[in-house]
Structure formats: C-alpha cells, structure tokens
Amino acid sequence: MKFPSISELYSVFRKFPTVTTDSRKAVVGTIFFALKGDNFNGNQFAEAALKQGCRYVVIDEEEYYAPSLKGESRNNSTLTDGGYILVKDCLTTLQELAKYHREQLKTPFVAITGSNGKTTTKEFIKSILSKKYKVLATAGNLNNHIGVPLTILELTPDIEIAIIEMGANHIGEIAMLCDLASPDYGLITNIGRAHIGEFGSFEAIVKAKTEMYQFLKKNGKKVFLNSADALLKEHAAVIEQITYSAKKDFCFCQLVGSDPFLKIKYEGEVITSHLIGRYNFENIAAAICIGKYFGVEVKKIKEAIEKYVPSNNRSQVLKTKTNTLILDAYNANPSSMRAAIENFYEMEGDNLPDRQAGKWLILGDMRELGVYEIQEHKDILQLIADKKFQNVVLVGEKFSQAFAEMKLKIPAELFKNSDELVTKMKDTPLSKEPALILIKGSRGIKLEKVVEYL
C-alpha cells in the first residue's frame, strides 16, 4: 500500500489497533511505525518487524518497501499487500492518525502541562478518577510529539475519561499537542524556569505553556485553575474556570502538615499522602478538584490519594539502616530545586542528634538552562548559604564552576559526577550519625546511584 489517505490508514488501524514505534514490541497483530532519530532509522527494522509477526509496517523510505513479500505466509496469515505501508513521513502520519482517531470518539480529555509536578499530578488524577471511571492516562512521562499520539491511539470506546500529559521545550509544541488531543479541560500546574535554556527567557516559557489556555479559549473549553497563582489567573481570565486553592473556591483544601509526608484536609477528611514537600500541595489539590468535578466521592478521593506511592525517583522517602533519604532525582530545575531545599530546611527529621547538623544535601547539576546555567546554580548556592546548611555535596561541572566563582564559605564537597561520589562513599560513609538526606538533581546526573551506599 502506497501513500494511503488517513481515512484509508484508519481502516487498517481499526482492524489492528495496536501501534508501536519499537520494533522489539512489533508482535503479532501490531502496526509498527518506523520513526527516525538522531542515531537510528526505523525503516531499517521494518522487514525484521514483519518477520517476527507484526501485521503492518509504516515506512517513509521507498528503498525499504518490499512488495516481493506479497503473498508470503507468516503466522498463518497470508498478506496480500506485503504488510508494507509507504507514507511521506512516518511521524507526521502517526500524528495525523491519532488526531483522526480522537475525532471519532467523544471521550472527555483532560490535558495537563506545567513546569513542575505535571507527572505527579497526572498520576493522582488517574488514581482518583479510576475510583469511578475507566481511565486512560499517559504512561510515565511520554508527553511529547510522539508519546501523546501513541497515548491517543490507545483510546478505545469503553474509555470514559482520558488524561493527557503534555511537555514542551519550545514555543508551539503545546499548541500542536492540543491540536492533536483536542482537550475538553486543561490544567497548568505552574510556570517556572524549567527548560529555560531551550526557550531563551521566562517570558517565552509563559507563552509556550499558556498555548493550552489559548486553545481552551478558542474552542470554548474549561480550565482547572489554581486561583492563588496570580500568573495563571491572569492568563486564564476569559476562560470558564473550575478553581481550587486553600481559599473558598469550587474546591477548598487546607495544608495540615508536611513533615515528612504531606497532609491535606478536604471536606472534613484529613488525607495523608506518601508525598513529601509542601510544594506538592497544589498538585494534590488540583487532583482533588478534578475528582470533585467529575463526581468522585470524598472517601474515594481520600482512599486514592493515600494508596498512591510515588516511584521512579520522584519524591520518594526511603529508609536505610541509619538514614532517611528524600529521593527526588528524576528531574530538577531552578524552581523545583529551590522548593525542595526550602521544604527540606523546615523538616524536623527523626532521631537526629542535631536538627541542622543531621541534615545533608546531595545536589546534582540542573540541565537545559542554556546561558542562564551558571547564574541559576549560583542562586541555589546562595540559598544554601542563607539557610546555613552544614553538610553539602555538589555533583556536576556547573555547580563546581558556580561554587568556584562565588567563593562562598559553604562546607561543600564537590564531585565531577555521581560515579566519583560513589567511589568515595564505598570507602567512607557520608555521615557517622543518623542523617536526613535530600537527593536532588537532573536525570542525567544519575544521583540514584548513591542510594545503596547510604
């Protein structure tokens, strides 16, 4: 099949509704889209995918089109078309197919973006709404131009609500994802300085994130809004709002405590989460608001939140033989790093010989900050100095450079990378006394490596 229309391709998808971009997962009955990357060309794996049972391969380079396979019998099925579908561009076709599929179904879509907390918030929303509905949500953080269409293509008629996470590192990306997913409701968790290196300025980040608001406004849709966030409130001014905060909004939540786990009071119920940090209050409040809007009972909301346990190095509290670890090493940007450190400063800790002397910071470089990278690391170091932390471990070249330039009297140990830190910790314990340790850094620093030595 060469250059089919989207409606023709959709007819094939209806018969074989499982799509993959990983040839290793191209099993019997699937459709494999041969995407390209900087270091790979999916077209090269098309024939292998067919031979291992994949029903169709979508390719965009004619040299890999093999009509000679026409009529060949594989897995008890004679392919009259060879299993090859040639298109002009595989990625564009994947996105167009997802958009076409979305248009056939009336499932309510809730879209989520933001600089911090969007994946955590999405997981809470999924947990809460699943108490009443059959829910489809973005897997992990597959929130980009590939992950979003793949999520949409998983949508089946029995799904009652879809939750789509959207990430962006350049202007126009959220607008494009909204065009694909056509959300009925939108949520921006917050707007910070994440990916500022790619965007170039904070103003550009604001413009990119609020593209979701522009879509909602244009199409007469609704927004879930933290009414305490002045910036979001300003940009959502003309959109129909469903509000939440610690004030008397549609959804009213109160912060009860956060040492270490966040506690929230809602409708007379005290909800104890497994998340650390008061900065997660808005994330849980947003999820509660969406649960309330869709009619989930209070006790079911409480149950969903209290059963959710974070994983994948996100806001995890881990106990070792002697130490308590706050592992938040999945990602880091200036906003989330500052919030984590400030929250950590307020924590009391258990069984510490001294409240501050028993605390340790293990911080890794923040990535994707461009020309702002050294200044942003300096700002974090100034915060550490202001809070008078006594035990500081810095990992990465940017922190080292910022530290050298500032000449602050911070009692810090510096390491080029996590492997260098691990090598030292194998021989020398970080602390002789029980310690409360915050581990925070960008994913590329791989600070999770130190956990087994604490």
pLDDT digits (tens, 9 = 90+) for 99-151: 999 999 999 999 999 988 899 999 999 999 999 999 999 987 789 999 999 99
Judge whether 276 and 259 are in contact, CB under 8 Å: no
Dihedrals φ, ψ of 56, to 5°?
A: -140, 145
Q: What is the spatial distance between Cα 127 and Cα 271, in angstroms, rounded to a whole number?
A: 14
Res 80 pLDDT > 60: no
Q: What is the spatial distance between Cα 181 and Cα 102, in angstroms, rounded to a whole number?
A: 7
Residues of 81-98 as b/e, b for ≥16 C-beta within 10 angstroms? ebbbbbbeebbebbbbbb
Q: What is the spatial distance between Cα 401 and Cα 7, in angstroms, rounded to a whole number?
A: 55
Query: Confidence class of residue 357 from pLDDT cuts 50, 70 and 90?
Result: confident
Res 84 pLDDT > 80: yes
Class of domain 105-307: alpha beta
DSSP characters over 234-279: HHTTTSEEEEEESSSSSEEEEEEEESSEEEEEETTEEEEEEEE-GG
Q: What is the spatial distance between Cα 161 and Cα 290, in angstroms, rounded to a whole number?
A: 11
- At residue 443, the 3 state secondary structure works out as helix
Segment 332-355, tens digit of pLDDT: 889 889 989 998 998 876 666 566
Q: What is the spatial distance between Cα 370 and Cα 194, in angstroms, rounded to a whole number?
A: 11
Mean pLDDT confidence for 143-168 = 95
Non-local CB neighbours of 1 within 8 Å, separated by 6+ positions: 8, 12, 81, 84, 85, 86
Segment 25-58, tens digit of pLDDT: 999 999 999 999 888 999 999 999 999 889 999 9
3-state secondary structure 277-330: CHHHHHHHHHHHHHHHHCCCCHHHHHHHHHHCCCCCCCCEEEECCCCEEEEECC
Q: Which amino acid is at 218?
A: K
CATH placement of domain 6-89: 3.40.1390.10
Segment 191-203, tens digit of pLDDT: 987 777 777 788 9
pLDDT number for residue 355: 61
C-alpha closest to that of 226 among 293, 167, 292, 286: 286
Place of tokens 């959207």: 166
Mean pLDDT confidence for 288-294 = 98
Query: Confidence class of residue 292 from pLDDT cuts 50, 70 and 90?
Result: very high
Give the helix/strand (H/E) hosting 150. Answer: helix 147-152
Place of tokens 């939540």: 253
CATH architecture designation of domain 316-453: Alpha-Beta Complex (3.90)
Judge whether 415 and 394 are in contact, CB under 8 Å: yes
Segment 166-196, tens digit of pLDDT: 998 889 999 999 999 999 999 999 998 777 7
Structural domain boundaries in the chain? 6-89, 105-307, 316-453
Residues of 135-171 as b/e, b for ≥16 C-beta within 10 angstroms? bbbbeebebbbbbbbbbbbbbeeebebbbbbbbbeeb
Helices 281-293 & 298-307 angle (0-180, nearest 10): 140
Q: pTM of the entire structure?
A: 0.87
**What's the length of the chain?**
454
Can you say whether residue 399 is alpha, beta or left, with left for phi > 0 and alpha for psi between -120 and 50 degrees? alpha
Dihedrals φ, ψ of 295, to 5°?
A: 80, 25
Res 330 pLDDT > 90: no
Pure H helices in 161-245: 173-181, 196-199, 202-209, 211-218, 230-235
pLDDT number for residue 81: 63
- At residue 334, the 3 state secondary structure works out as helix
To 10 degrees, the CA torsion angle through 331, 334, 336, 341?
110
DSSP characters over 66-133: -GGGTT-EETTEE-SSTTEEE-S-HHHHHHHHHHHHHHH----EEEEE-SSSHHHHHHHHHHHHTTTS
Q: Which amino acid is at 194?
A: A
Dihedrals φ, ψ of 149, to 5°?
A: -60, -35
Query: Confidence class of residue 317 from pLDDT cuts 50, 70 and 90?
Result: confident
Kindly report the CA angle at 19 between 15 and 24, in degrees rounded to 5?
Answer: 125
The number of CA neighbours under 13 Å toward the Cβ of 242 is 22
Mean pLDDT of the chain: 90
